[in-house]
Structure 1
Amino acid sequence: MLVVGLLVVAAAGSGVWWWGMVDDADGPVDCSALLSNVKIKDALGAGYQKGMSCSELGTALQTAAGGKGTEGHTAAQVRAMREILQGTDDALTNSGQKSIDPSLRLPLAELIADYAPDTYEIFKGLDARYVEHASDDRPWSDAAGVHMAVWDDTLIRVTRAVAASPNAYARVRDAQTRQSARILTRIPHPARGVTLTLPPVGNSVALGVLDAIAHDVSQSSSAGAGKKWRSDVIEALKQSAPNPPPSYESDPVGYIRGNWAAQLDAADTAAESKGFTEQGVRLLDIWAKGRADGFKASESLRADCRNSQYDRYSDVVHALSKKP
């Protein structure tokens, strides 16, 4: 009920792993559709060159928006990122296709991951400020810095477009896992009420979006290709996580992320892998154990996380079932 209420408030207010990727029957959007888009040209500015290759375009997009782990972004970079997402969404919508050229998947996934604090909030949909500023022509800022806001359906469609490549999807999921872990580690000790419950429930809502994207990618291909895609995603997530996990005291985010990845089973290629669909609960339990102060999440909170992740998943699955 808490999540539903907050959603109402919010609504008011380059090494690519080619193996394992899947594509929709009608094929991906090619690079020319992006090169001809006015928003993409504007985002690239002086970096735009007529006739540039797909790989050159991917590099230019990252340069314009400041990808690959930039700590904080300038207003110009945030504006470019917003136009890149909107321009890519335009190309997808105009073509009626769901995926994008393989050469662009990892560069765009790295950008989405690089903006994890913002993309997490957009996926979660509980911060009314991101809704209020989704139509702004300019980036908005507060004490924490400059922020990027777009409508959640735009971000979801672009993330779905890059997810056909397992390494690209894993890159986004790992970034959202890191951000979810950061959110948990910021909960004060002791905490009660909304201060305790909202962060893990919010994590679950955001992660439900990625569950839906994984479902849609898997359903777009044969059963065998879908299983291979999931296996490759899990393997990529396990390889990128710290192993063995660090101690909670030395690196709480790494502890949560590493222990979650260690629970993943590459053989779990079911359409709805529990390693994904129960991630919100698993992160909560790992965090509670890492605190080492006897805290244990209540069954009601665990149920709220599980149900919130499933509800968001269901909504996004329905939205993605429609053509752009």
Structure 2
Amino acid sequence: MLTYAEIMTTDFAALTTAAGKWESMAGEIKKVEDRYKDTVQKVAMGPNWVGVSAGVAQTNFAGTRYEYGAAQIQAKAVGSLLRDAHTQFVDLKKKLESARAEAVEAGMSVSEEGRVSFDYARLTDSERRAYRNDPDGQRTVSEAVTKWQKHIDDRVKAVSDADEGVKIALDAVVLDSNKDVGGKGDDQLNGFNAGAKGDIELYEAENAKDIATRLNGGEKVSTAEVAELGRSFRDNADNKAFSQTFVGGMGAGGTIRLANTLNNRAHGGDESQRGLYRDLNKGLAGTLAGATAVPEFKGSDGKKLVYGTKAYQDAFTEWSKGSDAKFYNDFMGDLRKAGVEKYELDVVGDKIAVGTGHGQDVRGYQALATLMQQGTGYSPQFLGDLTDDMIAAEKKDKDIWDLHGSFDDKKDGWFKNDPVDGVLSIMSRDPEAATGYLDPKADGDKDRLKYLLKDRDWDFVNTMDWRGNIETTGKDTSDGDVRNGLGLALEAATTGHTPLGPGQDPWPQTPHTEAQSRIMHDVIGTLGPDQKVHENLREPLARSLASYSADTHEILAGLDGRYIRASGDGHFTEGGTTHMSASQKDLVQFIRGLSDDPEAYATLYKAESRYSNLVMEGIPQGATGDNLRNPLDKSGTVLGVYSSVMEDVVNDDRMGKYSEADWKAKVAYHVIGGAVTPLYFTTAGGVSVAFGDSLQRGVDTWAWQWGNEMKAEADTEANAKIADKYLTVNNQVPIMVEDWAKDRPDLSGQTVQSLSSQILNGHDRGVNTAQKYLTDTTN
């Protein structure tokens, strides 16, 4: 492996000098070939030399002439490889130099050997003493040194990886491909390489394919060769020539078999080697992403076209007719066949005991979805086309993914027995892909959203059993992680950002696009009337809906005619801002379905409380009359809806999973927590949102007082009573209003109390509104 010092002191210009000499050599060989043709070879071609010896001479002379031509091809290829190497090394050295400069700018010192240390010399005496006497400071310094050392080591490794690739190419380019022997031409065995290529990555791909093919065949492959395969994947992560050459050479079936081979070794076999094969799987997934990448398309204005729009689809259709799309079209066609075929995978076969039944294999699409979990950067078009193809396959055979055993625990959950849900999970990492795929307006007659929410059979755990040679049947069931991918994809599709993690709360005023709003509207309209939402969808959909609090606030308040008129279309745009709309009835019932999960209810309730606080903060100083009362009345109405939903939940006989006390306590823990990790992202409207930094004072005061009371309690029943106290609007409202009014010198104490009363009056209206929609959910 190259060292930092070697890279920083090497003059790579020598490579271009050598390349020029190799290319010049090709020209000189061409001169020799021409003289040979006009002198030596010409003799055997004339009329004066006939017979057996003439025939032998013609054959030998033609072979020699062929090798002169092959020598020129080989020399030019070597020159091209050296220039390719120069380009790579110069680029990678610049990145290493930049890494060093960044480290120095961050207060580090980097030695000539590439070792990073904190540059204490740049500090004053007092600063040095403070650092050395402060354990937290020392830890911070140590963490920073480790981070920058890794950054530089990674850049060194990238150059070393590239160097290995150059070596492979230079070793291979001088080996005769013998491409025109055996009656195909005048090629002489073990001569010059007439099939020489000038692209390093093509040789790396051929070498990688050879190792992978032997792995698939069960042949002995050394640890060094396995490491070399990983290096090739790592070094060529962004190189399309490598990716398409490798994947195209393996074919869809070979790629799937390789994924299974790697998974068998990553999750079984020699434990000391498992990490190596897991890394290989990640490399293979990245190679697949590169090979199947569809380019970004731009409109006439130079802006990127958004996946799922008509303009994008038109551009893709046109691109797919060209030569650049040949690999993609061929591979997808190959995958439609390989995806439904069966393959061996230990984790699947082991679910059936030896000697029982007939064994079971994994479908190609299941193996592919499992592989893809390890990678990133898949193009939206590939994800959408792949999901469509898998759905088409399951519509032909509803039992195609059925397998014995569950695959939802820590041991076997890495295997995606439901490949559709698996790819939807991957899609959630790319909100544009998720929105474009699930947008009802963008899918033609596919009805993807309706199919996934209502029509699809999600039960893929086969309960068929064997008693001797007799097959017994039972109703298929589902894994515990069923619909997880769908939930994450819906959150990304409706919000425009990746799914939120622990400690991150949705922002109630997030801007949305028309496509995102359409999806949210259809989800509400599809799932709301049942007043039931699958448990694995509740929390991601609650986070989605909470980001629409500015809209749901108005829908539930029921006073804004714009929302009422747009409830059928699902959205309207005003002043450049898109608003989601839905029928009040569907929304109330949808909230009820989500609220079976206490965390989902808490997410929605906290978002509404925050939005109500934003509304109050937006009331101008000195406002009077309706300008002061109406916003508060609306807030009270919406809080009344949530009170009614809570009452319906805790009085429901179906609450088997939670007791009333447990449900309320869990609501409390979520409301008073959250938003502890700042999360920055740019929303659909180009607005930067910072979770954890932009909370409102009134809500914070309410939650803070609540949290203080709960700190002293560890009993669920006691915490439930405290939660009941703070979830009661009569207690919440005065706290929030009084805190808001501290900066309102124009409001007297009596007026503040009157405004609290205004909210509570609205609360009664909200309770009545919700009660008429909340029916007996046991049906």
Q: Which TM class, normalised by the smaller chain length?
A: 0.7 to 0.9
Q: Secondary structure at the match of 1:269?
A: helix
User: How well do the aligned residues superpose, as a CA RMSD in angstroms?
Assistant: 3.2
Question: Hey, what does 2:557 align to over in structure 1?
Answer: 124
TM-aligned CA distance change 1:124 to 1:281, over 3 Å: farther
Distance in 1, matches of 2:511 and 2:644, equals 29
> Structure 1: which amino acid aligns with 2:523?
I
Question: Hey, what does 2:464 align to over in structure 1?
Answer: none
Indicate which of 667, 676, 681 corresponds to 1:233. Answer: 667
TM-aligned CA distance change 1:41 to 1:304, over 3 Å: closer
Indicate which of 87, 98, 103 corresponds to 2:526. Answer: 87
Give 1:193 shift.
0.9
Question: Hey, what does 1:110 align to over in structure 2?
Answer: 543
Distance in 1, matches of 2:771 and 2:566, equals 25
TM-aligned CA distance change 1:217 to 1:271, over 3 Å: farther
Residue correspondence of structure 1 range 1-324 to structure 2 within 5 A: 42=440, 45=443, 53-66=482-495, 69=506, 71-90=510-529, 92=530, 98-136=531-569, 139-143=571-575, 145-221=577-653, 225-240=659-674, 253-264=695-706, 266=710, 267=718, 269=720, 273-276=724-727, 277-278=729-730, 279-289=732-742, 291=743, 293=745, 295=747, 296=749, 297-323=751-777
Distance in 2, matches of 1:58 and 1:320, equals 24
Is residue 622–residue 746 contact of structure 2 (8 Å, CA) maintained in 1?
no
Distance in 1, matches of 2:546 and 2:441, equals 18
Distance in 1, matches of 2:767 and 2:534, equals 26
Q: Deviations over 1:12-62 (max 9, x none)?
A: xxxxxxxxxxxxxxxxxxx9xxxxxxxx88379487676674111112212
Q: TM-score, normalised by structure 1?
A: 0.73
5+ long unaligned stretches in structure 2: 1-420, 422-437, 459-481, 500-505, 677-692, 711-717
Give 1:150 shift.
0.6
Moved more, 59-68 or 206-215: 59-68
Distance in 2, matches of 1:233 and 1:56, equals 24
TM-aligned CA distance change 1:299 to 1:73, over 3 Å: closer
Give 1:172 shift.
0.5
Is residue 66–residue 77 contact of structure 1 (8 Å, CA) maintained in 2?
yes
Distance in 1, matches of 2:598 and 2:765, equals 24
Distance in 1, matches of 2:648 and 2:442, equals 30
Distance in 1, matches of 2:698 and 2:565, equals 32
Distance in 2, matches of 1:76 and 1:160, equals 25
TM-aligned CA distance change 1:43 to 1:270, over 3 Å: farther
Is residue 82–residue 149 contact of structure 1 (8 Å, CA) maintained in 2?
yes
Is residue 200–residue 284 contact of structure 1 (8 Å, CA) maintained in 2?
no
TM-aligned CA distance change 1:63 to 1:235, over 3 Å: closer
Give 1:240 shift.
2.2
Q: TM-score, normalised by structure 2?
A: 0.32
Distance in 2, matches of 1:294 and 1:262, equals 27
> Structure 2: which amino acid aligns with 1:59?
L
Give 1:294 shift.
6.5
5+ long unaligned stretches in structure 1: 1-30, 32-39, 93-97, 243-250
- Over the matched positions of the two proteins, sequence identity in percent amounts to 25
Is residue 121–residue 127 contact of structure 1 (8 Å, CA) maintained in 2?
yes
Q: Deviations over 1:59-85 (max 9, x none)?
A: 221232225558421111111111111
Give 1:159 shift.
0.9
Give 1:139 shift.
2.3
Moved more, 313-322 or 105-114: 313-322
TM-aligned CA distance change 1:59 to 1:89, over 3 Å: same
TM-aligned CA distance change 1:320 to 1:273, over 3 Å: same
Is residue 538–residue 597 contact of structure 2 (8 Å, CA) maintained in 1?
yes
Q: Secondary structure at the match of 2:578?
A: strand
After TM superposition, which residue ranges in structure 1, 4 or more long, deviate above 6 angstroms? 46-52
Which of the pair has more CA radius of gyration?
2
TM-aligned CA distance change 1:105 to 1:256, over 3 Å: same
Distance in 1, matches of 2:441 and 2:563, equals 21
